[in-house]
Structure 1
């Protein structure tokens, strides 16, 4: 059983098909198909049911997938630990950061990190928190910034807490309020980020607790575009206060959102029990140095 066949199989499952898996691991679709067939032949049973362009797991496939994810993650930890034992000078930091908040919280730290550790190669993955947790789980990255809470499979180090604010057009009837609740916005259209952004989950979960069924006018992955849509009066947007203040707009008013459980609580996370390289530990120390007590 080879690592390459396990990796191909895991990516087919995660991406939902062979063509997308091939793009993810920079291979061809035929090579990925051959690797999965080789794994099925070795195990002696079918692992995937192929329906059109989609592939779903068989019962045996579910067992193999769970084990394969752990094997691949342990391999990455093993290689990192061996590199440290060899005293290699050219380490690698594999870091995952989300689009929301990273330019403020983490971008200023890169120059400091590079100055202190000039031989460390930084490999950056940029996705929403949900996707970052997926690739962290399988060992493709060492650390990720994600919103709390996270599952028990991860350990974490707090970075920052921020309240959320609602972004309303300045002439909106509720824009003069000092604070607002989701119940007061129940009849208003919302502007949300694309699926996979943990900020959406905060808003949707808070709406459920408040008995509000949000009407979504638009979705985007771009903060500036969301702000412009709010300024145009298309709907109500939500951002952490710190980020909203940096994206101030003359046609937008920020109103504090006071519903329980709507705090933006970001942390650096890593797999529980995983080996952390010197490069990863150095990044954690730097974020603790600059963001402890924020």
Structure 2
């Protein structure tokens, strides 16, 4: 049984369309169909029901699918190990990053690209849920985000640093004099918030619901950099992790006084998947940034 046959089978099982699966594998549809037919003949069973309008898995196909995926993952892990022997002289690294992690990326990217100029970096900024789903589809090597509140059985979260949900204001704001603020302290002030779906907003919405509090929201934005710029220019406040102002002099982060505001910055990886050397080196450099270098956990040593 050839690996390419299993890859063709898994692609067809995912697409349930031979034409689209053939395009994904960059072969003609006739070649793709012949590959599936040869696999069925080798196994002595039909793997797909085929009609002029629909393709679906047979019972045998459903049984084969998880074993085929495991076999392909094992082969990919073997290939990654061999690529590591090339001393990071080629290859690519696909990283998912939530906007809250933007504060540690600039320094990390600069140092990594200087050390490994031949590694192509593909950096994807999206909400955490979308990034996790893309990683589970093997589109990303790892994700940098705060620990998800929902349960993902296939994901491992490795702690980098601890953080707290905070109010971000200009230093001349009346709120800046507080050591901590309650939600009740905020209701009379206008806010610009991160958009729904972003992690800081998810945490905020949860505690607003728990306390039955309604804020005076004037605007929402789905990126941190222009959000902070608007806070500077208008005097509005926003709510983000305190680390969002780590390298900012004119803004201050005031922790929100609520038990549900604790946040943990993590590296999210797939369970059981080999962590290649390019990933390990990126994470090592990330941990040398001022924000996280004192909080390296045992899994990185």
Equivalent residue pairs, number: 253
When the two structures are superposed, what TM-score results if normalisation uses the length of structure 1?
0.67
Gaps of 5+ in 2: 1-7, 37-46, 296-301
Q: CA RMSD in A?
A: 4.2
How far the C-alpha of 1:84 sits from its partner, in A, is 2.2
How far the C-alpha of 1:244 sits from its partner, in A, is 2.7
Question: Could you say which residue in structure 2 is the equivalent of 1:239?
Answer: 240
Classify 1:167/1:2 alpha carbon distance in 2 versus 1 (closer, same or farther; 3 Å).
Answer: same
Classify 1:215/1:142 alpha carbon distance in 2 versus 1 (closer, same or farther; 3 Å).
Answer: same
Equivalent of residue 81 in structure 1, options 73, 78, 81? 78
Larger radius of gyration: 2
Distance 1:108 1:274 in 2: 27
SS at match of 1:111: helix
Question: Could you say which residue in structure 1 is the equivalent of 2:223?
Answer: 222
Equivalent runs, 1:1-294 vs 2, <5 Å: 2-8=9-15, 43-44=48-49, 75=72, 78-85=75-82, 87-88=85-86, 89-102=89-102, 104-149=103-148, 151-168=152-169, 174-186=175-187, 190-214=191-215, 216-230=217-231, 236-244=237-245, 246-249=247-250, 254-290=253-289, 291-294=292-295
Classify 1:141/1:196 alpha carbon distance in 2 versus 1 (closer, same or farther; 3 Å).
Answer: same
Distance 1:228 1:136 in 2: 31
When the two structures are superposed, what TM-score results if normalisation uses the length of structure 2?
0.65
Distance 2:293 2:181 in 1: 29
Gaps of 5+ in 1: 11-17, 19-24, 47-57
1:10-36 deviation digits (Å, cap 9, x = unpaired) = 9xxxxxxx9xxxxxx8x9xxx9xxx9x
Q: Point out the more displaced range, 261-270 or 162-171.
A: 162-171
Contact preservation (8 Å) 1:144, 1:270: yes
Distance 1:171 1:288 in 2: 33
How far the C-alpha of 1:3 sits from its partner, in A, is 4.3
Distance 2:67 2:189 in 1: 45
Question: Could you say which residue in structure 2 is the equivalent of 1:21?
Answer: none
SS at match of 2:90: coil
